[in-house]
Structure 1
Amino acid sequence: MRIVSGQFKGRRITAPKKLPVRPTTDMAKEALFNILNNQFYFDDISVLDLFAGTGNISYEFASRGTEQILCVDQDYGCIKFINETATSFEMDIQTIKSDVFKFLEKSKQQHTIIFADPPYDFPVEEFAKIPTLIFENKLLETEGLLIVEHSKHTDLSQLQNYTHSKSYGGNVFSFFENKTIDEEE
């Protein structure tokens, strides 16, 4: 796993083998950030990384100048690894060890981009909880974007506020946005 662009471009990150993770591939990550680069100024946004795992996505945002990054994962080893890596790269990444669903139920802070990479074997009902909690609790800024990574075998197109998906190999990114009343009519 490596950082594909920005200040830390090319830096390799080697996570301990014992972590319960499946990092986003470099190819999929690069494609995702090409899309985001056309929509956002990275130094002006707030990012929430759910099911953060190794912190792979957060390092990409930090490398591109994002200063407000919060990672949430329930695994202590993942949180410890993210903290150690962020410290060694001198990245300002905050972490919270928590069950993501419990965190979303209690959180009040809005973010510009919310990235969620839950286990690929989640049933669709578990995937559905992510946008439901985010939009019900108004955790996404008005012009913000929720991105959920999942396998090509999962279809999230029927979920609330879904707009479109992009596929990269076996990885799929589904995008969700705040919809105004005008758009729904």
Structure 2
Amino acid sequence: MRIISGNYKGRRITAPKKLPVRPTTDMAKEALFNIINNRYYFEDISILDLFSGTGNISFEFASRGVKNIIAVDQHSGCAQFISKTSEELKFDISVIKSDVFKYLSKAHFKSDIIFADPPYNFNQEQFGKIPQLVFENSLLRENGMLIIEHSEQTDLSKMLYYSESRKYGGNVFSFFELENNLI
């Protein structure tokens, strides 16, 4: 994987092969960040990266100047890799090793963007639990958005707070917000 923009543009990061991850492709990541870039100033926002895996999305935000990032993953190898890489790159990413659903149930940190990249084999109920917990617990700041990455076989359009989806290759990003006035 590589960082596609910002201070560390072009920097390759090699994650251990044993991690149970599926990093977001460069093409999909570039498209996603073009959308985000048109709506936010990176230096002014806070990010919650759920099911963070290799930290690919957190590293991209950090490279672009985001200073307030929390990465949550329950796999100890993933959490260790993100911590180690963040330290090497001098990124200020807080890493929390936790089950995402337990974390969301207890979290008080409000974010501008919450990005979730759960396993593609989640069922509708598991996917639905993410926006439910985010919005029930008021974890987004005003004008904030939740972005869930999933496969094209999954349809999240009937869920509460759904705004729209964008498809890039086999990746789909579904956007959720309090007001459906996204892009």
When normalised by structure 1's length, the TM-score is: 0.96
Corresponding position of 2:125: 125
Whether 1:111 aligns to 2:111 is yes
Secondary structure of the corresponding residue to residue 109 of structure 1: coil
The one-letter code sitting in structure 1 at the alignment partner of 2:165 is S
Separation of aligned partners in 2, 1:46 and 1:78: 21
What are the Cα deviations for residues 135-164 of structure 1, in whole angstroms up to 9, with x where unaligned? 000001111010000000000000110000
The one-letter code sitting in structure 1 at the alignment partner of 2:72 is V
Separation of aligned partners in 2, 1:141 and 1:28: 25
- Deviation beyond 3 Å, 4+ runs, structure 1: none
Aligned residue pairs, count: 181
Separation of aligned partners in 1, 2:67 and 2:179: 27
Structure 1 gap ranges (5+): none
Separation of aligned partners in 1, 2:177 and 2:32: 16
Corresponding position of 1:41: 41
Corresponding position of 1:64: 64
Separation of aligned partners in 2, 1:76 and 1:147: 24
When normalised by structure 2's length, the TM-score is: 0.97
Corresponding position of 1:88: 88
Whether 1:153 aligns to 2:153 is yes
Q: CA RMSD in A?
A: 1.0
Separation of aligned partners in 1, 2:69 and 2:153: 30
How far off its partner does 1:47 sit?
0.1
Structure 2 gap ranges (5+): none
Secondary structure of the corresponding residue to residue 125 of structure 2: helix
Identity score, percent? 65
